[in-house]
Amino acid sequence: MGEVGAGPDPRAAEEVSRPRQRAHLFRLLGGVFRGGATTAAVGVLLLAAALVVLLATNAFASIERFGLGFLTSDQWDLGRNQFGAGPAIAGTLLTSALALVFAIPVGLGVALFSSEIAPPRLRTPLAYFVDLGTAIPSIVYGFWALQVLKPIMETSVQPALAHIPGTGFLFSGPPLGLGVLTAGTILGIMIVPTIAAFSREALRSVSRQQREAALSLGATRWEATRMAVLGPAAPGIGGAIVLGLGRAIGETIAVALVIGGGYLVPTSLFSQGSTIPSTLVNGFTDSFGLERSALYELCIILLAISLAINLGARLMLREAGSSVRRGTESTQRRRRARPAGRIAATSTGSGLGVPRWWSVLVAQQRARRLRRKIVYGFVLVLVVGAVIVAAYPLASLVRTAVENGGTAVVHPSFYTSEPPTSCGVNQTVCPLGGIGPAIEGTFVLLGAASLIGLPVGLLTGIFLSEYGRNRLGRTIELTVDVLVGVPSILLGVFVFAVFLQFDPLDARTALSGGAALGMLMIPIVAKATTTSLRTVPAAVRDSALALGFPRHRVTARVVLGSCRSALVTANLVALMRAGGEAAAVIVTAGTSQYWAEGLRTPTAALATFIYYALTTNASPNYTSDAWGAALVLLLIMAVISLLARLALRTDSVSASE
């Protein structure tokens, strides 16, 4: 302290209190930061709860009126006010099952090819191709299905199937081209990339040593995969399949366009039918009163199915994560059907602690060389075939879009004109118009959605990874996981209902459309942020803390900074998903033929433009504009996918640092 008799030295007091002041400031900022993140995360939880509550409340009138019979009744009679969910549920389950029948072998084949068999140089383009498959919007798939798949089904596939003896009940009825089979097929084509991507991750997460050990003993690639990889990867593959199923259940637009729309329980695979999402998107905006309440009840049923499937998928994937860690043990524990060969057992017996499959392998190697080669060749053909089957629809889709939309896309006026007015019946040259308002509308919606989705998603992700190691955090993480898989039509219906309740004049505007898309983006961004933040090694965080960084600055500058590109990728992916979304926008933002006049009017958008061309607007010139719009959408998705993939390469922190 200072001289005797004098007061405390003011300079010393100041020098002592400055760090204390700073510490106070940091604590305040840290508190604010943490508070913000917690608010966002809890907000997401409340939003999910509100989703369930609002749908249930609106469905109450129908639940009260119809009771449990709603689930089995097959009526949808507006005149007599009788409604039932039977055909919708049956159609949903049937089309999803068909989709899995198609997508599981093809998706697994693609995953196997790209993780095991493909030459290394081919793996990245293949991965990009699979990404693109996931990115193509549902409306574009639906458009292609109507244009290309339906005629193929109608003229070739369905008659051929009908000729197979003994399958009368399955393939009876006129070959319309529309129906449950076509819907199941397009669904299958759409979920192949999802299954392929997640299965590939599951396969790649298995430790290489097992595989290499098997290969080094002379196993063919297939045998090495089968023995050492598929076992530990099985839960992950299971999770991938269930995720694909979840996506198929919630798929709205593509199915609505090709399923034929009759409200009946399908009696054969050629029947027309309905699914829950297709019934919703076709009937929601028309309905009111008891019918709308019945549609809300359908929403609840869809939500319940979707929740069950998503939870199942998450549990399987969690199990997959732990089983990979136990990988060695599980392959050891699995018993092979064949007894260990006497020849090899002596030299490399289990007495040395070597896995049993190794001894089996050595025995097989000497005995059945040719047969193994044949089997490998056969599997190779199957897997390459799967890749071709997966690639063909995508290639056809791109080609159709380019063929039909190519002429429109090259005119600059296409991007600056409004949609065409109607054309007289005998007029030979109709005004072509353009998609200017649709493009602008998409930007408006994405802008509004980003303002909600990006910050909330980011903060939620930060909360989950930094402050969420408690029960609240685990609950919120589960909620986010589940929200990712909720069908977008439900989010649209929810947002519309909220606006109708509190702000009816804005219910069919860009504001509600943006809110719906924002809700769509939140879980995607949150999940990706959480995942990226968790990959930052603890060492980076610890060293920053050790150097005296306050907690919030560690998170904001150091951790976020080191996975910048992963975050950028996540945002791009979320924007991409929202940009191609049609179902949620149809029930909220409506449509407009004019340039956007702010957020409080209905708005055009690329995806809804195409949808309205296919359903309501019958002018022939509108359809060619729609193909142009589809091509523009495809190009945007392709560019964003490429950017996202390139951005990931420049991530500044890798695991090895």
Partner 1 sequence: MSSAPPATTPEPVTPKVRRRSDRSGLYATVGAVVIVAILVGVGYGTHWYGLTSSSSSGGCPTGTTLQGAGAAFPAALVSQWVSGYTGDTGNLVNYAASGAGEGITDLTTKQVDFALTDEGLNGTESSALATAVGTVLTLPVTGGAVTLIYNIPGYPGPLNLTAAQIVGIYSGSTGYTAWDSTEFTVNNPGLVSSTALVYAVHRGDQAGMSYVFTNYLSLDNTTWATNIGTSILPAWPIFATGPGESGNSALIREVAGQAGAIGYTDLYDAQSHKLPTAHVENPHDQFIAPAVSSTTSAVNDIYAADPSSFPASDGNWASVTFVNAPGTTDYPLATIVYAMVPENPGAGHTASAIDAEVLVQWLHWTLTTGESFNSTAFPYVNPPAALVTEALAALSNMTYNKGTIPTCS
- Report whether 633 contacts 140 (CB < 8 A): yes
Q: Give the distance from CA 521 to its chain's centroid.
A: 11
The minimum distance between CB 9 and partner 1, in angstroms, equals: 6
The minimum distance between CB 598 and partner 1, in angstroms, equals: 5
Of positions 444, 495, 517, 583, contacts partner 1 by CB under 8 A: 444
**Amino acid code (one letter) for 489:** I
Nearest to partner 1 of 193, 420 (CB atom): 420
**Amino acid code (one letter) for 501:** Q
Under the phi-then-psi rule, with left for phi > 0, alpha for psi from -120 to 50, and beta for the rest, what region is 508? beta
Stretch that binds partner 1, among 379-387, 441-449, 475-483, 522-530 (CB under 8 A): 441-449
- Report whether 473 contacts 467 (CB < 8 A): yes
161-190: which residues touch partner 1 (CB under 8 A)?
173-174, 176-178
The minimum distance between CB 553 and partner 1, in angstroms, equals: 10
- Residue 339, interface with partner 1 (CB under 8 A)? no
Nearest to partner 1 of 5, 353 (CB atom): 5
- Residue 67, interface with partner 1 (CB under 8 A)? no
Nearest to partner 1 of 359, 465 (CB atom): 465
In this structure, what DSSP letter does residue 217 have? T
- Residue 271, interface with partner 1 (CB under 8 A)? yes
Stretch that binds partner 1, among 126-134, 308-316, 384-392, 439-447 (CB under 8 A): 439-447
449-468: which residues touch partner 1 (CB under 8 A)?
450-451, 454
The minimum distance between CB 564 and partner 1, in angstroms, equals: 6
Of positions 84, 260, 355, 393, contacts partner 1 by CB under 8 A: 260
Nearest to partner 1 of 223, 625 (CB atom): 625
- Residue 555, interface with partner 1 (CB under 8 A)? no
Other residues' Cβ atoms within 10 Å of the Cβ of residue 151: 11
The minimum distance between CB 288 and partner 1, in angstroms, equals: 5
386-425: which residues touch partner 1 (CB under 8 A)?
416, 418, 421-425
Nearest to partner 1 of 60, 549 (CB atom): 549
The minimum distance between CB 404 and partner 1, in angstroms, equals: 14
Q: Is 424 helix (H, G, I), strand (E, B) or coil?
A: coil
Nearest to partner 1 of 76, 129 (CB atom): 76
The terminus-to-terminus CA distance of the chain in angstroms comes to 47
- Residue 252, interface with partner 1 (CB under 8 A)? no
**Amino acid code (one letter) for 4:** V
- Residue 9, interface with partner 1 (CB under 8 A)? yes
Q: To 10 degrees, what angle do helices 10-66 and 471-484 make?
A: 50
495-534: which residues touch partner 1 (CB under 8 A)?
500, 504-505, 507-508, 510
CA–CA–CA angle 11, 12, 14 (5° rounding): 65
77-96: which residues touch partner 1 (CB under 8 A)?
77-80
Q: To 10 degrees, what angle do helices 10-66 and 289-325 make?
A: 120
Nearest partner of 297 among 581, 482, 69, judged by Cα: 69
Q: How far apart (Å, rounded) are the C-alpha atoms in residues 220 and 214?
A: 8
The minimum distance between CB 239 and partner 1, in angstroms, equals: 32
Q: To 10 degrees, what angle do helices 471-484 and 289-325 make?
A: 120
- Residue 620, interface with partner 1 (CB under 8 A)? yes
DSSP character string of 347-382: HT-GGGT--HHHHHHHHHHHH-HHHHHHHHHHHHHH
Stretch that binds partner 1, among 53-61, 337-345, 433-441, 459-467 (CB under 8 A): 433-441
Is residue 89 packed enough to be buried (19+ CB in 10 Å), middle (13-18) or exposed (0-12)? buried
Taking CA atoms, 436 is separated from 429, 440, 511, 595, 640, in Å, by 21, 6, 20, 7, 20
DSSP character string of 69-117: GGGT---EETTTTEE--HHHHHHHHHHHHHHHHHHHHHHHHHHHIIIII
191-210: which residues touch partner 1 (CB under 8 A)?
none
The minimum distance between CB 151 and partner 1, in angstroms, equals: 8
Of positions 30, 39, 443, 531, contacts partner 1 by CB under 8 A: 443
Compute φ and ψ for 82, nearest 5 degrees: -115, 125
Q: How many residues of this chain bind partner 1 (CB under 8 A)?
A: 105
Nearest to partner 1 of 269, 390 (CB atom): 269
559-618: which residues touch partner 1 (CB under 8 A)?
560-561, 564, 568, 571, 590-599, 601-602, 612-618
Stretch that binds partner 1, among 110-118, 223-231, 280-288, 293-301 (CB under 8 A): 280-288
Nearest to partner 1 of 125, 289 (CB atom): 289
14-43: which residues touch partner 1 (CB under 8 A)?
15-16, 18-19, 22
**Amino acid code (one letter) for 391:** A
Stretch that binds partner 1, among 72-80, 103-111, 631-639, 641-649 (CB under 8 A): 72-80
The minimum distance between CB 581 and partner 1, in angstroms, equals: 16
Of positions 43, 218, 261, 312, contacts partner 1 by CB under 8 A: 261
The minimum distance between CB 444 and partner 1, in angstroms, equals: 3
- Report whether 93 contacts 206 (CB < 8 A): no
Under the phi-then-psi rule, with left for phi > 0, alpha for psi from -120 to 50, and beta for the rest, what region is 289? left
Nearest partner of 189 among 256, 251, 271, 280, judged by Cα: 251
The minimum distance between CB 530 and partner 1, in angstroms, equals: 18
Other residues' Cβ atoms within 10 Å of the Cβ of residue 106: 23
Nearest to partner 1 of 580, 590 (CB atom): 590
Q: How far apart (Å, rounded) are the C-alpha atoms in residues 109 and 134?
A: 17
- In the block, tokens 């309501």 appear at 616
- Residue 359, interface with partner 1 (CB under 8 A)? no
283-312: which residues touch partner 1 (CB under 8 A)?
283, 285-289
Exposure of 254 in the CB half-sphere (CA atoms within 13 A): 33
Taking CA atoms, 483 is separated from 52, 307, 478, in Å, by 11, 9, 9
- Residue 436, interface with partner 1 (CB under 8 A)? yes
The minimum distance between CB 576 and partner 1, in angstroms, equals: 14
